[in-house]
Amino acid sequence: MGWAHHYRRRDALDAVLSDARRDPSAPLIVDPDVFGSLHELLLALDHRWQNKLTARMENAGLNGPVDEDRVIAELAAEEPVLRAVLDAHLSLSSYRTVGMTP
């Protein structure tokens, strides 16, 4: 993936989250030029969440034991639309089906 493709994916994810601010449970609009399916879009959104969460957990670990629930809650408070979209569109069984973790 080149930089142009990276920025197109980032912009497409940002657009999805911007649209979802009104109603995170509404059907997501998939840009077919960027994502091949809704499944691929949800994987990309989950990847964004996991990257942010991993960075937060690692940073919190620099100061001793990590309160994982607190770190997750803080990230969810800072990224409410991302968290709401994932929660609305991925049931627990869906997470397991596509290899994601809630």
100 confidence band (pLDDT: 50, 70, 90): low
94 confidence band (pLDDT: 50, 70, 90): low
Question: Residues with Cβ < 8 Å from 41, sequence gap 6 or more?
Answer: 12, 13, 16, 28, 30, 35
96 confidence band (pLDDT: 50, 70, 90): very low
Q: What is the pLDDT of residue 63?
A: 85
Backbone angles phi, psi at 78, to 5 degrees: -85, -25
Contact predicate 9/17, CB 8 Å: no
Backbone angles phi, psi at 21, to 5 degrees: -55, -35
Question: Residues with Cβ < 8 Å from 4, sequence gap 6 or more?
Answer: none
Question: Residues with Cβ < 8 Å from 39, sequence gap 6 or more?
Answer: 98
**Distance, CA of 87 to CA of 35 (rounded, Å):** 20
